[in-house]
Copies of this chain bind each other. A is one copy, B any other.
C-alpha cells in the first residue's frame, strides 16, 4: 500500500518559500492568456480550474530559490512550464475521452473535442510566445526540445495502445518522454534562472526527471486502485483504452489463466471490472512492486538534490519528492 504519515508536511507547507512567487506566476499566466475575445477568456477560465497543484512551477521556483531570490525570469519560466502542462492535459482529455479532471468536467466533455483541440493549441502557442519574451533563446530551445520529446512519448504511448506484450523498457521510455522530461526541464530552468553552474543544472534536471517518472508510476497505480472521489479525475481510463502500465505489465509476467484472460479482455475492448482488477493485482503484489519502483526513483531524485545548495528551499524539494509517494489526488 501507499505509505502515509500524518506528521509529514502538506503541499502548502512545502510551497511556503515560494508562495509569493507563485502568486506572481499566476498573474503572468493570466496576463499572457488575456485576449480581445471574451469567449476565449471564458474557455481559459475553465483551464484555470485545472490549475490545481502547480507542481511544476513550484519545482522550478524552489530549485531557483536554492540559489537565491526568484526573479522575473524564474516567474516567467514557471508560468511557461505550467502552460505547457495545461496544454498536454487539455489534449490528453480529448485523447483519453476523460470526462473529469480536478473534480471538474473536462473542456472536451463540456465544449466538445474541436474546442478542446484548439484550446490546447492556443495554450501551447501562448507558452512559446511567453517564453520568447525572455532576452535569451536558451529557455525557448530547452522548452521546444522538451515538448518535442513529450509529443514523441504521447505518440509512442498511442502506438502501444492495446499492446499486451508491452515491455517494461518501452513503458519506461514512454514515461520518461511523456512525463519525465517536463518536470526535468522545469527543475533545470529553475537552476538556470538561479544562475547555477552547468553541473548544478544537470543535477536539477536529473532530480526533476526522477521525480517525474515516480509521479507517473504513482499516477498509473492510482488509475487502477485510486479512489475517484479523492483523485478527482476519471479513473480506469488506461484499462478502458487497453493501455498497459507498470502494475499490469508486472501482472502479465505471471503466465497463467488470469493474465491471459486479462490480456484478452483488454485487447478486445471488453470491459474489465476495475475493483476486481485492483484486487487481483494487489494479491499478486503488482501494486506494491510498482510503488517500490516509484520509491526507488524518489530516492534517486533526492541523491541528485544533494548537489544543490542546502537550505529551506532544498528541504522543500526533498519533501516534494517524498510527497509523490503520498499522493491521493
Binding site for B on A (CB under 8 A): 35, 37, 39-40, 43, 91, 94-95, 113-115, 117-122, 124-126, 128-137, 140-141, 143-145, 147-148, 150-152, 154-156, 158-159
Contacts and interface: CB of A to CB of B under 8 A. Distances in A.
B124 A148 contact: no
A147 B159 contact: no
Nearest to A124: B124
B37 A118 contact: no
A255 to B, nearest CB: 28
Nearest to A141: B132
Given A115-B158, A134-B137, A159-B39, A128 B144 contact: yes
Counting chain B CB atoms within 10 Å of each CB, which of A94, A130, A136, A155 scores highest? A155
Contacts of A140: 128, 131-132, 137, 140
A124 B40 CA distance: 21
Contact of A129 (B117, B148, B158): B148
Contacts of A132: 132, 137, 140-141, 143-144
Given A37-B156, A117-B117, 6 more contacts: A125-B151, A129-B145, A129-B147, A132-B132, A135-B137, A137-B140
Contacts of A129: 141, 144-145, 147-148
Copies of this chain held together in the complex: 2
Counting chain B CB atoms within 10 Å of each CB, which of A37, A120, A132, A133 scores highest? A132
A262 to B, nearest CB: 23
Contact of A152 (B40, B115, B124, B134): B40
Counting chain B CB atoms within 10 Å of each CB, which of A94, A113, A122, A134 scores highest? A122
A132 B136 CA distance: 10
The 7 closest A-B CB pairs, nearest first, are A129-B144, A132-B140, A122-B151, A125-B147, A128-B128, A132-B141, A128-B144
Given A129-B141, A140-B132, A152 B117 contact: no
A142 to B, nearest CB: 9
A226 B35 CA distance: 36
Contact of A95 (B117, B136, B159): B117
Nearest to A121: B151
Nearest to A130: B144
B122 A125 contact: no
A152 B114 contact: no
Contacts of A115: 155, 158
Nearest to A119: B155
A43 B151 CA distance: 13
A170 to B, nearest CB: 11
A148 B33 CA distance: 9
B155 A40 contact: yes
B154 A126 contact: no
A253 to B, nearest CB: 25
Contacts of A122: 148, 151-152, 155
